[in-house]
Amino acid sequence: MVMTRQQLDVEVKNGGLVRVWYGVYTANEPDLLGRLAALDIFMGRRAVVCMGTAAILFGFDTENSTAIHVLDPGVRMRPAVGLMVHQRIGAPLQRIAGRLATAPAWTAVEVARQLHRPRALATLDAALRSMRCSRSEIERAVAEQRGRRGIVAVRDLLPFADGRSESAMESEARLVMIDHGLPLPELQYPICGRDGELWRVDFAWPEAFLAAEYESIDWHVGRSEMIRDKTRWGKIQELGWTIIPIVVHDVRREPDRLAERIANHLERSRMAG
C-alpha cells in the first residue's frame, strides 16, 4: 500500500500508525526489539547496541532506560529523539537477542561510569546477579576503560559489588552502610522458623540477631500480602531478632540517621553479650 506524506501524517495523528523512526512506521507501539528492528531499517544495517539498551537485553538495567543507545555504524548518522549514537572503538561485542551488543562486563562498567555512586553500585550488583558476567570480567573491563570519566569511582566500588542484592534500592541502602563504616551485613540471609518455615531477610548481622528490610512504596500490594508480611515479621521477632525497616527516605534523605540506628542496635547487642 502506497501513501502520500500527508496520508501518513493523518494516520499517525488518528492512531492508525506509529512513527518509530524517520520514514519507518508500524501499526502498533513496538517493544524494544521492535524498535531495534525498525532502527535496522532506518539505518540500512543491523544496529549494534550499547549502554542502557545493552543492559536491558542482558537483563541488568536498573535505570529504566528509554532511549536507544547504539554504536556509530560508521556512516553519517546523528542522534535523534530517543536515539543516542556512541563512538566506542574497540569495545568487545557479544550476541544477544539475535544482534550484537557491547559485552556484558564492558556494558556494566560503561553504564556505571555515567551514574552517581549509589546507582553505579546498583548496576554492578545487577550485572553480577544476572550471571551474564563474572567479577573478574568486570575487573578486566575496568582496566580496559582506565582513564575514562568515572572509572575511578567504579573501580573503588567493585570490591563491594554483590550479586545477592535483589534490587537497586537494596544496593543504595548497602552503600550507606559501607560509607558509614558499619560491619557489612549478610545479604538475603535465611532464617528458619519454629514450625519449619524458611524466610530470607535483605540484610542480617546474625551474631547480633539484627536484620534490616528495605520496604518499597508498593511493598504491600494488597491486604493479604500485608498480613502475610506482618505475620512473617512477628514470627522472626519471636525468635529474638530485631528488624529495622528501611524506606527510600532513610536511604536518600537521612542516611546518617539510618546508619546511626543500625550502629546503635549493633552496639546494644554487643553490650548485652
CATH of the domain at 216: 3.40.960.10
One domain for residues 159 and 190? no
Given a cut of 60, whether residue 3 has pLDDT beyond it is: yes
One domain for residues 142 and 223? no
Q: Structure pTM?
A: 0.91
Sign of CA dihedral 262, 263, 268, 273: positive
Residue range of the domain that includes 146 = 44-163
Q: Are 71 and 48 in contact (CB under 8 A)?
A: yes
One domain for residues 149 and 183? no
One domain for residues 132 and 196? no
Cell of 228: 502475610
Tell me the per-residue pLDDT of 202-260, one tens digit each, with 9 for 90 and over. Answer: 999 999 999 999 988 665 556 677 778 888 889 999 999 999 999 999 999 999 999 99
pLDDT at 219: 52
Q: Are 53 and 70 in contact (CB under 8 A)?
A: yes
Would you give the DSSP letter of residue 25?
E
Cell of 220: 504491600
Residue whose entry in the numeric block shows the C-alpha cell 493523518: 10
> Which residues are registered as beta bridge partners of 191?
199
CA nearest neighbour of 38 among 79, 75, 83: 83
Q: Residue 149 falls within a domain, yes or no? A: yes
One domain for residues 102 and 204? no
pLDDT at 87: 86
Backbone angles phi, psi at 84, to 5 degrees: -115, 130
pLDDT-wise least confident of 63-67, 85-89, 129-133, 174-178: 85-89
Torsion, CA 215, CA 245, CA 123, CA 35, rounded to 10: 10
Domain boundary among 163, 193, 215: 163
> Which residues are registered as beta bridge partners of 152?
none
Q: Residue 109 falls within a domain, yes or no? A: yes
Q: Are 86 and 102 in contact (CB under 8 A)?
A: no
Q: Are 135 and 128 in contact (CB under 8 A)?
A: yes
Residue whose entry in the numeric block shows the C-alpha cell 566506542: 88
Neighbours of 95 (CB within 10 A): 8
Cα separation, 93 vs 102, whole angstroms: 4
Cell of 2: 502506497
3-state SS, residue 158: helix
Domain boundary among 163, 190, 208: 163
pLDDT at 273: 67
3-state SS, residue 240: coil
Q: Residue 57 falls within a domain, yes or no? A: yes
| Distance of alpha carbon 172 from the chain centroid | 11
Domain boundary among 140, 163, 186: 163
One domain for residues 149 and 182? no
Q: Residue 5 falls within a domain, yes or no? A: no
Given a cut of 80, whether residue 1 has pLDDT beyond it is: no
